[in-house]
Chains A and B, each alone.
Chain A
Amino acid sequence: MTSLLRLGGVALRRGGRLLFEDLDLDLEEGAKLQVAGPNGSGKSSLIRLAAGLLSAERGKVERSQLALVDDNLALDREAPLRAALQFWGGAVDEAMVQLGIGDLADVPVRLLSSGQAKRAALARAFASTSRLWLLDEPLNALDADGVNRLSAVIAAHVKAGGAVLAASHQPLPGDWRTLELGA
Chain B
Amino acid sequence: MISALIARDARRAFTGAAWLPIAFFLLVAALMPFAIGPDAQLLSRIGPGVLWIAALTAALLPIERLIEPDRVDGVLDQLFVHGMAEESVAFGKIVAHWLTFAPLLLIAAIPASALLALDGASLARTEIALLIGTPGLAALAVAVAAVTAGLPRAGSLAGLLLFPLAVPLLIFGVGNALLLEGAVSLVLTAGAPFVAGAAIRAART
**A87–B8 touching, CB < 8 Å:** yes
B70-113 CB mask vs A (1 if < 8 Å, else 0) is 00111101101111000000000000000000000000000000
Given contacts A54-B204, A87-B4, contact A74 B82 (CB under 8 A): no
Shortest CB-to-CB span from A145 to chain B, Å, is 25
Q: List 13 A-B contacts (CB under 8 A).
A: A51-B81, A53-B77, A53-B81, A66-B81, A68-B77, A71-B74, A72-B75, A72-B78, A73-B74, A74-B78, A76-B12, A78-B15, A88-B78
Interface range on chain A: under 10, 10 to 19, 20 to 34, or 35 or more?
A: 20 to 34
Q: Write out, one digit per residue, whether chain A residues 46-84 have a CB within 8 A of any chain B CB (1) or not (0).
A: 000001111000000000011110111111111000000
With a CB–CB cut-off of 8 A, which chain A residues contact B15? 78
Residues of chain A within 8 A of B12, CB atoms compared = 76, 78
With both beta carbons as reference points, the residue of chain A lying nearest to B75 in the complex is identified as A74
A67 and B74 contacting across the interface, CB-CB below 8 Å: no
Contact A72-B73, Cβ < 8 Å, known A53-B204, A78-B15, A87-B8: yes
CA gap between A178 and B60 in the complex, in Å: 50
Smallest CB-CB separation from A65: which chain B residue?
A: B83
Tell me the dominant secondary structure on chain A's binding face. Answer: loop
In the complex, per-residue mask of B54-78: 1 if CB is within 8 Å of any chain A CB, else 0: 0000000000000000001111011
The answer to whether A72 touches B77 (Cβ under 8 A) is yes
Which A residues are CB-close (under 8 A) to B4? 87
Query: Which A residues lie within 8 Å of B80 (CB)?
Result: 52-53
Q: Which residue of A lies closest to B70 (CB)?
A: A74
* B81 and A73 contact, CB distance less than 8 A: no
Instruction: Tell me whether A88 and B82 are in contact (CB under 8 A).
Output: yes
> B residues within 8 A CB of A66?
81
B8 to chain A, nearest CB (A): 6
* Residue among B8, B15, B72, B74 with max Cβ neighbours from chain A (10 Å): B74
Across-interface contacts of A54 in B (CB, < 8 A) = 204
Q: A78-B12, A78-B15 are in contact. Are A73 and B82 (CB under 8 A)?
A: no
State the Cβ distance, B34 to closest chain A Cβ, in Å. Answer: 37
Known contacts: A52-B81, A53-B80, A68-B81. The answer to whether A74 contacts B204 by CB under 8 A is no
- A78 CA to B16 CA, complexed, in Å: 9
Instruction: Let me know if A74 and B74 touch, CB within 8 A.
Output: yes
Bound-state Cα–Cα, A69 to B20, Å: 34
Q: Which residues of B contact A73 (CB under 8 A)?
A: 73-74
Q: How many whole Å from B159's CB to the nearest CB in chain A? A: 27
Structural contact, A76 and B74, CB atoms closer than 8 A:
no
**Min C-beta distance of B82 to chain A, whole Å:** 7
Which residues on B sit within 8 Å (CB–CB) of A78?
12, 15-16
Having A67-B81, A73-B73, A74-B77, one finds 5 other A-B pairs with CB under 8 Å, namely: A54-B204, A66-B81, A72-B73, A87-B8, A124-B78
Contacts of A74 in B (CB 8 A): 73-75, 77-78
A126 to chain B, nearest CB (A): 14
Which residues 27-42 of A sit at the B interface, judged by CB distance below 8 A?
Answer: none
Which of A70, A71, A74, A78 has most B Cβ within 10 Å?
A74
Question: B13 to nearest A CB, angstroms?
Answer: 11
- Taking CB atoms, residues of chain A closer than 8 Å to B8 are 76, 87
Q: Which B residues are in CB contact (< 8 Å) with A75?
A: 73
Interface string of A114-155 (1 = CB under 8 A from B): 000000000010000000000000000000000000000000
Chain A to chain B: the 4 pairs with minimum beta-carbon distance, closest first? A72-B74, A74-B74, A74-B78, A74-B75
Using Cβ atoms and an 8 Å threshold, which residues of chain A touch B81? 51-53, 66-68
Smallest beta-carbon distance A18→chain B, Å: 17
